[in-house]
Each structure stands twice: as structure tokens, then as C-alpha cells.
Amino acid sequence: MTAITHHIPESILAAYAAGNLPHPFALVVASHVSLCPDCRGALETHQALGGTVLEATDAVAVSSDLRADILAQLDAPFVPAPAYDRTGVFPGPVMEALKGKPPRWKTLGMGVRQNILYSNNEGSVRLLFIPPGQAVPDHSHNGLELTLVLQGSFSDETGRFGVGDVEIGDEDLEHTPVADMGDPCICLAATDAPLRFNSLVPRLLQPFFRI
């Protein structure tokens, strides 16, 4: 894998360490951290700082009912969640979201395919398969978008993004990502609001593709 040059911002890493990120973005961060030693080290620093803050915080009394509920949960049998390793281009967190199975691709046209991993009112996260040379229609954003490259690469007005790189899209970014030549580009993309497409056809198809 080539060197990762586009990383997760510190503010997002801090929110992830504190457990404050919506699930779609948390999945992208977990997947990037599994590939990037630099961000993994930065995350460990945030987690250590959080632990120090907790140790310095004064204890707070809880009700007897809450205490009994917590103790009951501690007494319940522990059933460990299955652990998933990286499989092919998919990091462990993505394999967990896929429940250990291959993606179930659905076509979006022009060779582009997607597999929605999670979607609710807090946002969505999906795998995208984009053939070499194929462009994603020109669009801007109604909110935040994190896009992690898992295979191949793509380029847009802001630069080139290869395996492990993350592009941060917000309301100020309007772009036309194009998959570079070579391997098809596979990305993990999370959003908290629908994209704003500039062309009529993508806007008409948007409700069906849930983008």
C-alpha cells in the first residue's frame, strides 16, 4: 500500500475516541485507523487523555435502581462479538458490517455499484465500486461526507486519493470525483445528509439510490 497522505482530522478522531461520532462516520474512522499507523497512534493519545480526565473526575452518586441494573448487566453471561480480520481490500470493521460476507452490489448505472451497509436518520454509510475512468456526477454537499479509499484511487478538484486516504467533504466542497486508471476504485463513504447533484438525471434518481 502506498503512503497515506490524507488523514482523519484531529477533531473527528477526538469525537470518535469520546464515542460521540454517529455510526456511519465511526465506521469510516475505524476502518481508516486500521490501515493508518499515524492516526492509530493519534487515536491512542486521545483515548489516554480521555482516561486521565475520567480518573480526575469526582465520583457521582447513582440511584439504587440504576446501581442494581448495572450490577445485573455485569452478572449477565458475556457473549463476545465475532472478530473479523481484513479480507481482501476490506478492513476488519467493514467485514464486521458485512457480517463476514462479500458485498451485495447493486448497480447505479455506468458500471458504478453500491452496497449500503447502514442507513437511518443519523446518516448512511456505503461501499462504492467505480470502474476506471468513470466519474461520479458533479455534486456538492448538504452536510459532512467522509470517503475512504479501499482499492484503486480517484482524483478530483482537490487532489488524488489512494488506498487509505480519506477525503473530507462539506458544504464548501463541490467536486467531480473520477476513478483513476488501473484497478476499479472501491470506497467506503459516509454521509449525514443527501448530496446535492447539479445535473437533472442524478437528482431524479437520487431517491431510488438513497444517496
**SS3 of 66, please?**
helix
Cα angle 186, 90, 139 (rounded to 5 degrees) comes to 30
- Long-range contacts of residues 37-45, Cβ cutoff 8 Å, at least 24 apart: 38/4, 38/7, 39/7, 39/8, 39/13, 42/10, 42/13, 43/13, 43/16, 43/17
Q: What confidence category does residue 199 fall into, taking pLDDT thresholds of 50, 70 and 90?
A: confident
Q: Which helix (H) or strand (E) holds 11?
A: helix 10-17
Q: What is the pLDDT of residue 49?
A: 78
Q: Is 202 a residue whose pLDDT tops 90?
A: no
Distance from C-alpha of 147 to C-alpha of 195, rounded to nearest angstrom: 13
CATH number of the domain residue 171 falls in: 2.60.120.10
In the numeric block, which cell numbers belong to residue 118?
A: 447502514
Domain-embedded: residue 121: yes
Which secondary structure element, helix H or strand E, spans residue 199, and what is its range?
none
Among residues 118, 187, 125, 96, which one has the least CA distance to residue 150? 187
Residue 34: pLDDT band with limits 50, 70, 90: very high
Confirm whether 76 is domain-assigned: yes
Range(s) of the domain holding residue 205: 8-211
- Write the pLDDT tens digit of every residue in 50-107: 555 445 556 566 577 766 666 665 565 655 556 799 999 999 999 999 999 999 999 9
Distance between alpha carbon 210 and the CA centroid of its chain, in Å? 16
* Separation CA 133–CA 145 (nearest Å): 22
Q: What is the pLDDT of residues 138-171, one digit of tens each?
A: 899 899 999 999 999 999 999 999 999 999 999 8
2 lies in a domain? no
How many Å apart are CA 152 and CA 137, to the nearest integer? 19
